[in-house]
Amino acid sequence: MTTAPQKTASERSEATEHDVAVLRDALGLLKDREQVAERLLASSAKHSFDPDTELDWVSPVEDGKWYWPPELLSLYDTPMWHRMPHEQRLELSRHEAASLASLGIWFEIILMQLLVRHVYDKSVTSAHVRYALTEIADECRHSKMFARMIEKGGAPTYPVSRFHHNLARVLKTVSTTPGSFACTLLGEEILDYMQRLTFPDERVQTIVRGVTRIHVVEEARHVRYAREELRRQMVSCPRWEAQLTRLSSGEAARVFSIAFVNPEVYTNVGLDRREAVRQVKESGHRREVMQTGAKRLTDFLDDIGVMRGVGRRLWRSSGLLA
């Protein structure tokens, strides 16, 4: 006679935790999806912007101003930075801002597809779907706004590598819902941290401050929507899917930290690209900026059970988790 394999104590407690969470969800103790979406729709109606008319795209850029706060530039406080003349540092800010805006557009296009896939099977009249469509409209405006900002600064666009471009093609086509929302938060929260420091900074170009202000206001809703949905999904999804989410978000964090600044920016401002990449990797200041930017997200993911096992190790190797 065969006997069923005994569960370990940790497996038993994980199972109980999971069952209790599903029960809580069923009893409606988790925040109601429709209520959250209704609130986000009301906020969207009040605080949404059309960047084409809201921002001054006609005035020329200002001489001597930064395109990104210097402390948030990848090379800040490295030996290379200390040797760079002021003009070259300003140039680096112009190219890094274009690189981050290019990354932002890449992420938003991925996100739009994930949201379209998310609502495909849901009730079209629900507030949850109406809000997803509102968010897609926000991201359309953001991507056009970032593209205009790159053009205005006169730096080139900086696409991610061919490999990462194609890796994301697979991810955005096959990822399941919780994995999609975990990646959404990864893209939104770290850039959001930098943008919150950028828009009030008077050393920064007016157009960049305007773009980041609009983005921060509208992204706050996106972060809320993704968090609430991911929290719900992590308690109700099958165990294999929760495990897959831990792995895929850890891998996405690793790719994200590599793709964050396109190394071509260093070549374009006249620096030795390999040496610059090496110094950024070794920079304690940079590590601190990235980990501080990711902290709100990593704490949240830890709280809802995404930061476990191999997933946690991948997050560590990305350098985003202390």
Token pair recorded at residue 87: 């003009």
Nearer to Fe ion, 189 or 219 (CB): 219
Among 65, 128, 130, 142, binds Fe ion (CB under 5 A): 142
Nearer to Fe ion, 94 or 142 (CB): 142
Applying CB under 5 A, does 246 fall inside the site for Fe ion? no
Task: Measure the CA dihedral 308/26/228/243, to 10°.
Answer: 20
Size of the site for Fe ion (CB under 5 A): 4
Cβ at position 49, least distance to Fe ion in Å: 12
Cβ(235)–Cβ(21) under 8 Å?
A: yes
Cβ at position 72, least distance to Fe ion in Å: 18
Segment interacting with Fe ion, rule: CB under 5 A, options 21-29, 32-40, 131-139, 281-289: 131-139
Nearer to Fe ion, 139 or 229 (CB): 139
Cβ at position 140, least distance to Fe ion in Å: 9
The continuous run of DSSP H or E covering 1 comes out as: none
Site string for Fe ion, 266-295 (x = CB under 5 A): ------------------------------
Cβ(198)–Cβ(97) under 8 Å?
A: no
Cα separation, 135 vs 40, in Å, equals 10
Nearer to Fe ion, 145 or 306 (CB): 145
How far is residue 53 from each of residues 56, 57, 142, 211, 213, measured CA to CA in Å?
A: 8, 9, 13, 12, 14
Cα separation, 318 vs 278, in Å, equals 15
Cβ at position 50, least distance to Fe ion in Å: 14
Cβ at position 239, least distance to Fe ion in Å: 29
Cβ at position 213, least distance to Fe ion in Å: 13
The residue among 241, 251, 90 whose CA lies nearest residue 168 is: 251
Segment interacting with Fe ion, rule: CB under 5 A, options 16-24, 40-48, 138-146, 287-295: 138-146
Cβ(139)–Cβ(184) under 8 Å?
A: no
Cα separation, 227 vs 172, in Å, equals 18
Nearer to Fe ion, 93 or 195 (CB): 195
Bridge partner list, 272: none
Cβ at position 145, least distance to Fe ion in Å: 9
Site string for Fe ion, 32-71 (x = CB under 5 A): ----------------------------------------
Token pair recorded at residue 17: 């935790």
Cα separation, 306 vs 91, in Å, equals 39
Residues 169-228 that bind Fe ion (CB under 5 A): 219, 222
Nearer to Fe ion, 155 or 211 (CB): 211
Cα separation, 219 vs 166, in Å, equals 26
Cβ at position 304, least distance to Fe ion in Å: 19
Give me the DSSP letters along 48-73: ---HHHHS--SSPPPTT-BSS-GGGS
Segment interacting with Fe ion, rule: CB under 5 A, options 64-72, 141-149, 225-233, 235-243: 141-149
Residues near Fe ion (CB under 5 A) are 139, 142, 219, 222
